[in-house]
Amino acid sequence: MTTVPDRARVRLTGISSRAYEHPADRSALVALRKLSGFDVLLRKLFGLFNERAFRLSYLAGAVKVSDRQFPHIHALVRDGAYVLDLPEVPDVFVIQKPEVQAMAVGRDHPFIVVTTGLVNLHDAEELRFVIGHELGHILSGHAVYRTMLLWLIQLAGRIAWMPIGVIGIRAIIWGLEEWFRKSELSCDRAGLLAGQDLDAARRALMKLAGGPYLSELNPDAFREQAREYDAVPDMRDSILKLLQLQGNTHPFAVVRYAELDHWATGGAYERILGGDYPRREDDRDASVGEEVRNAARSYQESWSRSEDPLVGVFRGVADTVVSAGGSLFDRFTGGRGSGSSSDDN
């Protein structure tokens, strides 16, 4: 298996998270950051989540990565933070669990948690991709909004006896889950940018579905499997696919593989490595209306590629969303591009 030497990796100085974020993810984040007083509200809401207590629980029950403990992971996170030009290198904790999991936690001083199941599954370059994925969540500031989703899920459980209330909450949760899944696609791109090894990224995503048996897996066959999942022959299968997404915050492995493969080979990845990407210093000038239009165009482009019979019913709708959504947010923000930006950007 070929890997990319450290010296060959391009440092993406000052890169904005907008460079890799999926348009649907990016438009939601830009819109939220421009709402007057939203930063203050987030700080108050996030204060309900005891970040210090959570960190202490990992200091007590997990292993803090350093140059003396899991030094290979320590090197990966330092290298990934350097490549993505993060303001600071986050702490990483390894916790003993067989599940294959990783997460970025916190707001003011976010940190990363990975399980031993994940560490055991991946080789060094695959793990570099996973660490880069979590660094992407930190750079985008996803942790705050993900915490909101968890609160709403808990709230929905508490008011389940109120049919009207829970229906409204569920509608919000469905929308947040869709954003959550798009944020995962965003950070797969960040993982690729951090590692700059497409084969390793592909292997990591295949292993999520098939486990450690890499000799039994084939990238071309897995790509064909993704096409088979997309091009189901019956409308009933399309509806089942939608139903299976409910309650899932992560896209399925074949979808993540196909989406990353499409983005990596479509020109955007190479342009970023060539230095053509938005900078953090320009985040305040991002236009909400334009990002909404980009999101609608992204859905439209995705639908045009899809062979799913149900998707065909919705083709053309994105044109209306582009016009109406973009105009709405332009009017809401007074046509101004300036606004508050996230601390993580």
Average pLDDT, consecutive stretches of 10 residues, N- to C-terminus, the chain (345 residues):
64 94 73 54 57 86 97 97 95 97 85 96 97 95 68 61 56 71 93 97 96 94 93 80 78 94 94 95 73 60 62 52 47 43 37
Active site residues: 134
Say how far apart CA 26 and CA 82 lie, in whole Å. Answer: 23
Cβ-count burial of 329 within 10 angstroms (0-12 exposed, 13-18 middle, 19+ buried)? buried
Residue 339 has what pLDDT?
38
Segments making up each domain of the chain, as ranges: 15-332
Residue 340 has what pLDDT?
35
SS3 111: strand
**H/E stretch holding 239:** helix 235-245
Count other C-beta atoms under 10 Å from residue 104's C-beta: 23
Say how far apart CA 177 and CA 140 lie, in whole Å. Answer: 17
Residue 141 has what pLDDT?
83
Q: Please, what's the b/e burial string for 188-203 (b: 16 or more CB within 10 A of its CB; e: otherwise)?
A: bbbbbbbbbbbebbbb
- The model's pTM is 0.79
Residue 1 has what pLDDT?
42
Residue 155 has what pLDDT?
62
